[in-house]
Structure 1
Amino acid sequence: MHAAWETEGVAIMGGSYRWIPAGVTLLTAGLVGCGSSTSPDPSARVVELPQGGENVDFDDTVYTADLDRVLIPARSEGIYLVDPATAQATRVDYPGAVDSVDAGDGGLFALDRSGRVIHVLDPEGQLKSSVATGGGPDYLRYVAAEKELWISEPGVEGIEVFTLQDSLELAPRRSGFIPVPGGVEGLTFSADGSRAYTHAGNDLVVLDVPAHREAARWPTGCNGTHGSPRIDQDGTFVLASCAKDGKVTLLDAADGHQLGAYEVGGGESLPGHSAEQDYFYVRSDPGSTLAVLDASRESLQEVRTVKVPEVGHCLGAQGNHYWTCDAAAGGVLLFQDG
């Protein structure tokens, strides 16, 4: 998340509410547009929204194994699916605004923050059902092990839980609320789905997924947190991310003690992780450097860096690929690792 937005007079640290005029768009590979503030590393493969215009205010991206695609919610421009192996991209024919999206159980789940609504779609974008959220929503995540949707709601300091029903035509049913005092900033899950991780103030919060409750809370070493924490595949390390200087801190996932720290410089931190490469990643927004990091119990070491456009509020990784957004050009940069 980034910047401050308000809902019913409550200031929430969340995504900027700058909307881009809608249009019919397709994703194709191309060159970065002239609006890009910094030229990307020559190794980047660039994916653009050629008819979507510049200054797309990206925020969330997520890889889904169900579709083997990176899901790109492009605000009022709609939903895009990117194949990380080929950089081939397609647009889901969905006419609404979307700020966060995930997939599972045969459906796509699109969150409209301003409308406070979750739309359930089939993979082609056909609307099947909808349900309103109780608070101002920020991020949506599908929890496969529980067949649930978790919606982070910073203004009410917690996570609203919806359970999927037997058909996409039946709207998800509200089934719980998990209090997270001082939170929630970002949301991610362990590989086995038993634990969830979020930030709250200067702390990292561990949630017991089946029990729907807080299991642990550890100091991060940040003066303010930002973005979604990242957990490695083995559940050994957690990467917490800070609200300034592009700083991340490495915590032991067993007891939360700090093992290392790294600063890429710039503004708010955006972290990522690839299970296959076993690397963490970080960039800042604003910031023109993306760093690949190797974690151990002794330190958090820089492996390499690449140049990225200065403004881009997303970062993710899967397999031997990682990606970030170029807000000025309205595109996505795809890198190959190794």
Structure 2
Amino acid sequence: MGHFASPFTKTCYFLCFFLGPLASLYAQTAQTQATTKALQAITIPGGESGIGFDDLRFSSKLGKALIPGGRTGKLFLIDSKDQSVSSISGFSSKSGYTTGHGEGITSADEGDTVLYVTDRTALRLDVVDESSGLLVAGTALAAGPDYVRYVAPTQEIWVTEPGKDRIEIFRLAKAPKQPPIHADFISVPGGPEALVIDKTRGRAYSNLWKEETVAIDLQSRKIVATWANGCGGSRGIALDEAKGFLFVGCSEGKAVVLNLNQDGKQIASLSSGSGVDIIDYNSTLAHLYLPGGHSATMAIIGVAGSGQLSLLGTVPTAEDSHCVTADANGNAYVCDPGKGQILMLQDNYPVSRK
């Protein structure tokens, strides 16, 4: 015997089959809008006509993001608690912005009591006193700089000079506020692009421009390993020092995980966006940030205990938003060169692993 649908049942069918997809679409749209609103624009004084941002860092001691201001002649500091902006002056400046990031200061890192800042226009390594915020010393660089990193185990400053395929090394003077002293060069044929220091293993890691990543011994200053990284164009680099995961950003729009405990073996990858350059990692959340300058998006990627990657979400950024740094409070700061501002993401995605 057949069963006849009641008017109530027919109404349910209509709601489920016809209105269901619309409800789903509405929910997705609402979620996207909520995600978009999480990007807070932070104004950088004097940046309205554009700033050639590049290497962004976070100072754990100061609790502030370090934002080299390119042509502005200033190093900006964003407080991770309230996003207030302060600045340090005294670097090379220029009135106009022409795109790119070849002017003024573009990289900074913290030492024991000072900040180290590289100036592409002046070809200088500058020293800033953390407590006073004053530029107290500086020394000439042998070539155009890209990244600067303080190497605590050897008390050295390493500056990449990709135009010469090398890293320039400086040792500290007797007093930290005196000019650093040139000590050596490390030849990195085909590189170096990006630089990260692994104190646990006594190594530094950098990319070659295509397909490979190198490991450099901090004591001998020699390349001790070269690994295939799965990238067509190797760009950004980040490190989970405790787990031994090295993350490489590929310009074509991909993140790759190399396992340092397995001699740099590729163990995972995930594709998102395009025009990837600088990447960063939050070890507390186990989240990797992958901005694409061409796609104007940033992927938030979860990293499992095994090193496997999962896409947690993507957020819209801006054209040429190719650089990012993460703080200790779950925020990621993405550069917006065209508007000379910083876009902040409040990362509310769950912790990927303990």
Bin for the TM-score computed over the shorter chain: 0.7 to 0.9
Tell me the residue number matched to 1:115.
122
> Structure 2: how far apart are the matches of 1:95 and 1:302?
39
Shift of 1:248: 1.6
1:324 paired to 2:334: yes
Shift of 1:186: 0.7
Q: Which residue of 145, 156, 159 maps to 1:148?
A: 156
Summarize deviations over 1:89-118 as a string: whole Å, max 9, x none: 211133433121122222222211132111
Tell me the residue number matched to 1:83.
79
1:279 paired to 2:275: no
1:249 paired to 2:256: yes
Shift of 1:247: 1.4
Summarize deviations over 1:22-58 as a string: whole Å, max 9, x none: xxxxxxxxxxxxxxxxxx8201222112433232111
Q: Which residue of 163, 179, 185 maps to 2:187?
A: 179
Shift of 1:183: 1.1
> Structure 2: how far apart are the matches of 1:74 and 1:298?
34
Alignment of 1:1-338 (within 5 A): 41-77=36-72, 78-96=74-92, 97-123=104-130, 124-190=132-198, 192=200, 194-200=202-208, 201-227=210-236, 229-244=237-252, 246-254=253-261, 255-296=263-304, 297=306, 299-319=308-328, 320-338=330-348
Question: Which secondary structure state, in structure 1, belongs to the residue aligned with residue 192 of structure 2?
Answer: strand
Q: What is the one-letter code of the residue matched to 2:128?
A: L
Contact 1:270 / 1:313 at 8 angstroms: preserved in 2? yes
TM-score (ref. length: structure 2): 0.79
Tell me the residue number matched to 1:4.
none
> Structure 2: how far apart are the matches of 1:323 and 1:238?
21
Q: What is the one-letter code of the residue matched to 1:117?
A: R
Structure with greater helix share of residues? 2
Q: What is the one-letter code of the residue matched to 2:212?
A: D
Could you list the runs of 5+ residues in structure 2 that have no partner in the other structure? 1-34, 93-103, 349-354
- CA gap of 1:317–1:289, structure 2 versus 1, over 3 A, is same
- CA gap of 1:298–1:199, structure 2 versus 1, over 3 A, is closer
Shift of 1:66: 2.8
> Structure 1: how far apart are the matches of 2:87 and 2:126?
17
Shift of 1:170: 2.4
Q: What is the one-letter code of the residue matched to 1:92?
A: I
Summarize deviations over 1:132-156 as a string: whole Å, max 9, x none: 1122221111122222110001122
- CA gap of 1:125–1:292, structure 2 versus 1, over 3 A, is same
Summarize deviations over 1:293-329 as a string: whole Å, max 9, x none: 1224373211122221232131111221211011122
Contact 1:207 / 1:215 at 8 angstroms: preserved in 2? yes
- CA gap of 1:151–1:95, structure 2 versus 1, over 3 A, is closer
- CA gap of 1:298–1:73, structure 2 versus 1, over 3 A, is closer
Shift of 1:79: 0.5
Larger radius of gyration: 2
Could you list the runs of 5+ residues in structure 1 that have no partner in the other structure? 1-39
> Structure 1: how far apart are the matches of 2:307 and 2:114?
42
RMSD (CA atoms): 2.0
Identity of aligned residues (%): 29
Off by >6 Å, runs of 4+ in structure 1: none
TM-score (ref. length: structure 1): 0.82
> Structure 2: how far apart are the matches of 1:236 and 1:66?
24
Shift of 1:74: 0.9
Contact 1:316 / 1:323 at 8 angstroms: preserved in 2? yes
